[in-house]
Amino acid sequence: MDAEFLGVAPASPSDEPPTVWRDTSNGDLIVEYADADPAARTAGAERPAPGHTPGIPDGETVVRLPADALPAVRDPQDDADDPDDAQSTP
C-alpha cells in the first residue's frame, strides 16, 4: 500500500500523533491516534448514523480526532476548487 502523508495536528508534540495519511490506491484515510475514551465509544455506539445499526461492529473501533487535526482530513479537492480558501498542512 502506498500512503500519502496529509498532516498532523499542529498542537501535537514532535513525534506524536494524531497523524493522517491517504491510501493512494483508493483515497481512504488512515488515522493514527489513540482509541477513544469509553464515553466517546458509548456515544458512537448509541447514536449511529442514520440507517446504521447501533453498536460498534467487530473489526472497527472509535477514534477521537482532535479538532486541530481537521485541516489534515479536509477534502483535497477543496484546494483545487478554491485556491484562495486553501488551508495548508504541515
Q: What is the pTM of this model?
A: 0.60
Q: Where are the beta strands (DSSP E) in the chain?
A: 3-8, 19-23, 29-32
Q: Is the pLDDT of residue 76 over 70?
A: no
Q: What is the pLDDT of residue 24?
A: 92
Distance of alpha carbon 49 from the chain centroid: 17
CA 38, 44, 50: angle at the middle one, nearest 5? 170
- d(CA 34, CA 69) in angstroms, rounded, equals 13
Structural contact between residues 37 and 64, judged by C-beta atoms closer than 8 angstroms: yes
**What are the helix and strand counts (H, E) for the chain?**
2, 3
